[in-house]
Amino acid sequence: MNSSLMQNGLALEHYVVLSMALFAAGVLGVLFRRNALIIFMCIELMLNAVNLLMVAFATFHGDMAGQVFVFFIMAVAAAEVAVGLAILTVLYNKLKTTDIDILNKLKW
């Protein structure tokens, strides 16, 4: 399968550029939006870009360890989302907003 990947002209470079595009889209979202929920989604996007790059490297190097690490990253992302959304819900109940320009008490 790998050899067929190479024969079709699909190199690791393609995956590197794609992953970086997805990661940059996540960074752009974090900088661009004010809604904390969208920022969470963009963090998920960045984690997925890293996962994709990890799987690409694992396949091209023939090492299963990369895929195992993707597994762990998924678990950490699930934990992060559960706690983060719970915090966001509590904050919304108190302040009636998810705007990060208002939720800036921990900033400085």
Instruction: Considering only residues 67 through 96, tell me which ones interact with other proteins, judged by CB under 8 A.
Output: 67-68, 70-72, 74-83, 85-90, 92-93
Q: Which residue, chain included where needed, has tokens 């067929």?
A: 4
Indicate whether 44 belongs to the interface with other proteins (CB under 8 A).
yes
Indicate whether 56 belongs to the interface with other proteins (CB under 8 A).
yes
Indicate whether 50 belongs to the interface with other proteins (CB under 8 A).
no
Spatial contact of 104 and 36, defined as CB atoms under 8 Å apart: no
Choice between 8 and 104, CB closer to other proteins: 8
Indicate whether 18 belongs to the interface with other proteins (CB under 8 A).
yes
Query: How near is the Cβ of 92 to other proteins at its closest, in Å?
Result: 5
- Residue type at 29? G
5: enclosing H helix or E strand: helix 2-7
Q: Which of 21, 28, 19 is nearest to 49 (CA)?
A: 19
